[in-house]
Amino acid sequence: MADRRAMLALEDGKVFEGAAFGGSGERCGEVVFNTSMAGYQEILTDPSYRGQIVTMTYPLIGNYGVNPQDVESIHPWVEGFVVREYCEYPSNWRSDKALAQYLADYGLIGIEGIDTRALTTHLRTYGAKKGILSTVDFDPQSLIKKAQDDPGLIGIDLVKDVMREDVREWLGEGFADQPLTSAAQLDLPLDVPQRRAAPSPGRRFRVVAMDSGIKHNILRELSQRNCQVIVAPASTTAEEILSWDPDGIFLANGPGDPEGVPYLIETTRKLIGQRPIFGICLGHQILGLAFGGRTYKLKFGHRGANQPVRNVDTGRIEITSQNHGFAVDMDSLAGKGLRMTHVNLNDMTNEGMAHEELPIFSVQYHPEASPGPHDAKYLFDRFAANMAAYAGG
């Protein structure tokens, strides 16, 4: 165990003391838990965790180290990392460095040696809490006050912190070196009548992916289905998106409260009926708000790679990977043309919806799951089928 002292304090007065690994300092965030047994590097680099201190329920973390391939974005986004036991000496042929060094490289604090079962039980009982992780202040009352004073996530726009600043094409395993400024840069021979510019050679569909914190494996899944993927900031207007003449529009995952990004809600509202739309996680919530529905905060959210979801249409149970703290209220969408397609079997909350007439659907979980179950990858095929129908074949 590391010999540096660290302390985690929650807004409601609960305090945990342990040992620090990784960086030093002090960070506030919403304290949540993830039940995955593996995939800590993907969790750390998921932009949806912006503003959160993540607790891993699996007791031993760090045993396979860190490598450059298993990232979901350009760097970690968590505010802090909480584990029962940190493995100081990783063993894996793909390992590039130890987890502690990786966290230190980005100034992120890890804490080990606390009772993560007790912390998780507390969060399940009383809900996710604002908290603070510190290696410099060990006065419990001081830390509790700092946690209470943190603004939290409600109504805050965290998307602006994680989205790209320019439009770029995804090239299978990374972004193009140069940004795109207009569809003229994609001016290739036409392959269907309505196109101004066809997808790049070997690609059948063009997708504009709205980046509100998009994960790399989502982009890989779209590429694997013959999509040319244009990744645009979440602040991009509907007019700009349509200027790329896409076959489909993808609404990505992202952090925080969906009501904190009204510009993305308004853009999505203008895109309804214009092209096929597929939303995941935050994109699902944004779509619900764009149709005039409501979202609400879950008590402690769904985070892990083992969440059971029932497909309402088929009755099939999918084991899914999830990371979200908000949900769409389906009752608020009555009369809007949307129906629920998936339901969470742990708490019966909405996990998916589809429009009765338009080629629009979304899910609350992550069908791209890397690492995680592959039960829901068919949803990318459904999106491709919707685009094929829109493009006339």
> Looking at the annotation, which residues are catalytic?
281, 366, 368
DSSP string, 30-71: EEEEE--SS-HHHHHT-GGGTTEEEEE-SSEE-TT-B-SSS-
**Amino acid type, 163:** M
- DSSP letter assigned to residue 253: P
Give the side-chain half-sphere CA count within 13 A for 357: 6
d(CA 215, CA 170): 12
d(CA 183, CA 190): 13
Residues 20/100, Cβ–Cβ less than 8 Å? no
Residues 213/48, Cβ–Cβ less than 8 Å? yes
d(CA 360, CA 386): 9
d(CA 166, CA 175): 11
d(CA 201, CA 307): 39
Among 173, 215, 264, 256, smallest CA distance to 366 is for: 215
Please state the separation of Cα 119 from the chain's center in Å.
23
**Amino acid type, 73:** S
Strand segments, DSSP code E, in the chain are: 4-10, 15-22, 26-34, 52-56, 60-61, 80-82, 85-86, 109-112, 129-134, 168-170, 205-211, 227-233, 248-251, 277-280, 294-311, 317-329, 338-344, 350-355, 360-363
Tokens of 347: 């708490």
